[in-house]
Amino acid sequence: MIRFGVGALAEAPDLLRASGFKNYALLTTERGQEQFPQVAENAYLVAHVPHGPVPEVAAAVRERVNDRPLVALGGGRVIDAAKAIAGADQLRSAAIPTTLSGAEMTPFHRMPEGVEELQHTRPALVLGAPGLMASQPMPDLAASAMNALAHAFEALYTPRSNPVARMAALRSAELIAAGLADAEPDKPSLALGALLAGYASGLAGFAVHHAVCQTIVRMTGSPHAQTNAIMLPHFVRVMELRAREETEAFGVALGAERRRGAAAEAVERLVKKAEAGKLSYYGVEASHLSAVVEAVSARAELQNTPEPPSEGELRGVLERAL
């Protein structure tokens, strides 16, 4: 079930109870708990998810959950940790997102450290409040929006893409572009755009962009949203010849002309709002690139890309982003 709108938070306690989330374990952060204290007051226990890779942080709080239903209040790391524990222990989860990550809409996550069998799951209940989903300050909000926009773009061209995913992805792109069009972000547009992007990604899966960005983040510790923002224009250019029609349609959704290069230019204008700069600003060095490329080349998700890039092409993209 998905409840999206300004009244989602007010309805949260009743919706959680009606959906079977009683005596739940709340996974959150200090920021999340401060933003929505009522959901913490109604929880059986509250566990703050630490910073770090999902397998580690999920393992760190897993024992405290003690087989209770899970409610995740936070960004992608918190929601993915809840999904990881739910998959490992056959539990139900609900998500109340506080960023534009889209994790609440997808079945993609890693497992807790020490769990070998992959069991994908997704939240049974999603409560999306625009003001909460888009509550990050600028420019972090714009960086989070670029991660959502990348979900939408990849959903256009993977082998699992379909008319429903494409329609959701293109509408997502329109909303995100509109949400960042003015100096003051349009939070409802950004939140709905991120929700649709996550839905499209959940249907179609992801490809080279997220395979590369996830690997960079894991191997170098660079920030997730900013890494996605930096890399997105580069991968739009990578796809111009591989998926010309899809890339041009993406550009049109962003308000660009239907011509080669226009989509990447439109994305670059949006990325400027994120003020992300270069990968090197976040500790990524030339010495990291060989290991990143090797790890990406071994990932199955790379095969979701038409004509998967060679190691040489991937390295060239990373060098330009450095």
237-249: pLDDT as tens digits: 999 999 999 999 9
Q: Is a pLDDT exceeding 90 seen at residue 317?
A: yes
pLDDT in tens, 290-305: 999 999 999 999 999 9
Residues 6+ apart with CB under 8 A from 193: 100, 145, 148, 149, 152, 171, 172, 173, 174, 175, 176, 179
Name the pLDDT band for 128 (thresholds 50, 70, 90): very high
Q: Two tokens at 31? A: 């920021």
If you average pLDDT over residues 125-151, what whole number do you get? 97
Model confidence pLDDT, tens digit, residues 59-85: 999 999 999 999 999 999 999 999 999
Helices 140-154 and 208-220 cross at an angle (nearest 10°) of 140
For residues 121 and 170, give the distance between their C-alpha atoms in angstroms, rounded to a whole number. 25
What are the structural domains, with CATH classification, of the chain? Answer: 2-133 (3.40.50.1970), 140-321 (1.20.1090.10)
The β-bridge partners of 28 are 48
Is the separation of the CB atoms in 31 and 132 below 8 Å? Answer: no
φ, ψ of residue 71 in degrees (nearest 5): -120, 125
pLDDT digits (tens, 9 = 90+) for 197-240: 999 999 999 999 999 999 999 999 999 999 999 999 999 999 99
**Ordered DSSP codes for 20-67:** T--SPEEEE-HHHHHH-HHHHHT-SEEEEPPSS-HHHHHHHHHHHHTT
| Rounded-to-integer distance, Cα 18 and Cα 5, Å | 18
Q: For every residue of 256-305, which 3-state class applies, written as one string?
A: CCCCCCHHHHHHHHHHHHHCCCCHHHHCCCHHHHHHHHHHHHCCHHHHHC
pLDDT value of residue 185: 97
- Residue 6's Cβ-side half-sphere holds a number of Cα atoms within 13 Å equal to 3
Q: Which two tokens stand for residue 124?
A: 């049974």
Residue 124: is it exposed, middle or buried by C-beta count within 10 angstroms (0-12/13-18/19+)? middle
Flag whether pLDDT at 116 surpasses 90: no
What is the Cα–Cα distance from 36 to 34, expressed in whole angstroms? 6
Query: How is residue 308 annotated by DSSP?
Result: P
Q: Are 207 and 158 in contact (CB under 8 A)?
A: yes
Task: Please state, for a pLDDT cut of 90, what percent of the chain lies above it.
Answer: 93
- β partners of residue 71: 26, 94
What's residue 168's pLDDT?
Answer: 98
At residue 93, the pLDDT reads 97
Peptide bond into 233 cis (omega under 30): no
CA angle 60, 61, 64 (to 5 degrees): 130
Q: Tell me the average pLDDT across 167-189.
A: 97
User: Rounded CA gap, 107 and 144, in Å?
Assistant: 19
